[in-house]
Amino acid sequence: MPTRILVIEDNPANMELMTYLLNAFGYELLTASDGETGLTMAIREQPDLIICDVHLPQLDGYGVIRVLKRQPALQEIPAIAVTALAMAGDRDKLLDAGFDGYISKPIEPETFIAEIAKFLPAGQAPRTPAPGSPLLLVVCNAESNRARLAPQLGSRETVWADSVRQAVELAQTHTFSLALVDLEGAPEDCLRDIENAKSDAAFAALPLIIFVPSGTPKGRTGAISGTARFLPRTVEPGVLADEIETCLHHENRRQDGDHTDR
Ligand code: MN
């Protein structure tokens, strides 16, 4: 079962950044944007870790931690405060209130995951794939497409991105074997986003399977060069599995230096 993390944060930008980082590292996310809702979710969902902003509407971080640490079922869940408070005294106050630790704002993407992982029991560390097992990147901007694709990927190690921009960032820090791109929107916009991403070396090196948006003009997909395959969204699960296998097989041979396989 994936590690479940509840994030209580009212600032949309901070929430987006934390959600993005935690998702990328394979954590399951629960989110709330005020203290009352966060508390209700904590009680109902019993997450493995709680990350809580201090300044929150309805009930602030101190209010949340006070209630949490009084509940026998919840007091063992590690809770981390996210705070812009700079003074040492303020931080002591957070620990005195019951928080198990704190993370300073602004959130640093480079260290955030390592910091939160310290508060998780061993075995719930960020999910890193077994060496040699292919890691897939799936770029998907619609919940419905995500729900359709996820079961088709089986137990493959997968990192999800919400946008092409996010995918490019992930490609710079992860070694993917293949990217699947399924974008909802005007075909011209989707294909242009992919073309633009190709100017990034890490992303350009990735074999792509692209689900062609309906209404794509004939011949338009030809503008995306390289090792891209195009599939309709309605593709049979078995066909998609075969396509993924074929791409991974080609990619393995390419990485092994076998350039005769064309
Ligand atoms: Mn806040």
pLDDT score of 262 = 42
How many angstroms does the Cα of residue 227 sit away from the middle of ligand 1?
45
How many angstroms does the Cα of residue 163 sit away from the middle of ligand 1?
26
Neighbouring C-beta atoms of residue 226, cutoff 10 Å: 10
Percentage of the chain exceeding pLDDT 70: 90
d(CA 18, CA 23): 8
Residues with CB under 5 Å of ion ligand 1 are 10, 53, 55
- pLDDT tens digits for 40-94? 999 999 999 999 999 999 999 999 999 999 988 898 999 999 998 767 788 889 9
Token couple for 47: 């997450």
How many angstroms does the Cα of residue 14 sit away from the middle of ligand 1?
9
pLDDT score of 179 = 94
How many angstroms does the Cα of residue 75 sit away from the middle of ligand 1?
23
d(CA 48, CA 126): 13
How many angstroms does the Cα of residue 15 sit away from the middle of ligand 1?
10
pLDDT score of 139 = 93
How many angstroms does the Cα of residue 184 sit away from the middle of ligand 1?
32
Q: Which residues of the chain fall below pLDDT 70? A: 86, 122-132, 222-223, 225-227, 254-262
How many angstroms does the Cα of residue 76 sit away from the middle of ligand 1?
24
User: Residue-wise over 43-57: b if at least 16 C-beta within 10 A, else e?
Assistant: eeeebbbbbbbbebe
Question: What is the model's pTM?
Answer: 0.52
Each as own residue / partner, the long-range contacts of residues 70-79 (CB below 8 Å, 24 or more positions apart, any chain) are 71/43, 73/43, 73/46, 74/42, 74/43, 74/46, 77/42, 77/46, 77/47, 77/48, 77/49, 77/50, 78/49, 78/50, 78/119, 78/120, 79/49, 79/50, 79/51, 79/52
How many angstroms does the Cα of residue 69 sit away from the middle of ligand 1?
21
Provide the residue type at 85 as one letter: L
How many angstroms does the Cα of residue 56 sit away from the middle of ligand 1?
5
What distance, in Å, lies between the first and last C-alpha atoms of the chain? 40
pLDDT score of 129 = 47
How many angstroms does the Cα of residue 9 sit away from the middle of ligand 1?
6
